[in-house]
């Protein structure tokens, strides 16, 4: 039985993804500061994504108590929305905390995930779908907007990480890497109201496909992947 690990698992995306994979027969491990995901047999692991140095210990515990994950979903995020007038008015400690959640901990998670992927491959336990790492992103790696300074910087760093892994570093391995980004049908971002079921459907589909798809996986609920133009700046939400 395969294992799926959801980091930064919350009541919306995390819950839906856990339920989707569990229904398909996966063992489920969820990690976050507090346990908000409910489900029989889901194993919870306390984890603070502002502390990337603890990531190896998290994966070690998941490996021991649940199994080596063949699917890892990184859903944690850090954002401290400032004011339009003072976009740089942020203490450096707060900046570092956001970057830890959005960039450093995703990097540390990929390091540990790939160790497990390699072990599963060596043992012949990956199966035809291979292994999958998915980072829940947004369109800030492609655009700019007010009040999103550290949020966008972190997402941009994570997007480059995923792009490099998918297209260069592991292009010849049965490992897949995705930057997930739910959009409205017109390509506009979700400022609020992300759909948990839409993420679950998209992420499960990506995990089951044996080949790497578009690393920047922009998707619309009910329609799947859709490629959108990259605006330089965000429009103000209506």
Among 85, 145, 136, residue whose Cα is nearest residue 109: 136
Q: Which two tokens stand for residue 24?
A: 């398909």
Burial profile 120-154: b = 16 or more Cβ within 10 angstroms, e = fewer: bbeeeebeebbbbbbbbbbbbbbbebeebbbbbbb
121 is catalytic: no
Contact indicator for 180, 219 with CB cutoff of 8 Å: yes
CA 11 – CA 35 distance, rounded (Å) = 9
* Catalytic member of 38, 61, 125, 155: 155
Q: How far apart are CA 141 and CA 25, in angstroms?
A: 34
Active site residues: 155
């Amino acid at each position: 039985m395969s294992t799926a690990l959801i980091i930064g698992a919350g009541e919306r995306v995390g819950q839906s993804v856990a339920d989707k994979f569990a229904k398909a027969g996966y063992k489920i491990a969820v990690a976050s500061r507090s346990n908000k995901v409910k489900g029989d047999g889901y194993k919870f692991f306390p984890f603070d994504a502002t502390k990337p140095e603890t990531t190896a210990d998290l994966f070690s515990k998941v490996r021991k108590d649940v199994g080596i994950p063949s699917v890892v979903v990184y859903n944690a995020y850090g954002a401290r929305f400032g004011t339009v007038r003072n976009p740089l008015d942020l203490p450096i400690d707060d900046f570092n905390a956001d970057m830890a959640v959005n960039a450093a901990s995703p990097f540390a998670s990929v390091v540990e995930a790939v160790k497990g992927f390699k072990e599963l491959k060596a043992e012949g336990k990956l199966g035809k779908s291979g292994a999958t790492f998915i980072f829940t992103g947004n369109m800030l790696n492609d655009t700019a907007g007010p009040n999103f300074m550290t949020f966008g910087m972190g997402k941009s760093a994570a997007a480059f990480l995923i792009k490099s892994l998918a297209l260069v570093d592991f292009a010849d391995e049965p490992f897949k890497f995705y930057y997930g980004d739910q959009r409205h049908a017109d390509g506009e971002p979700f400022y609020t109201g992300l759909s948990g079921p839409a993420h679950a459907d998209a992420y499960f589909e990506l995990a089951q496909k044996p080949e790497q798809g578009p690393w920047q996986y922009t998707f619309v609920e009910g329609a799947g992947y859709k490629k959108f133009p990259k605006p330089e700046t965000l429009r103000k939400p209506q």
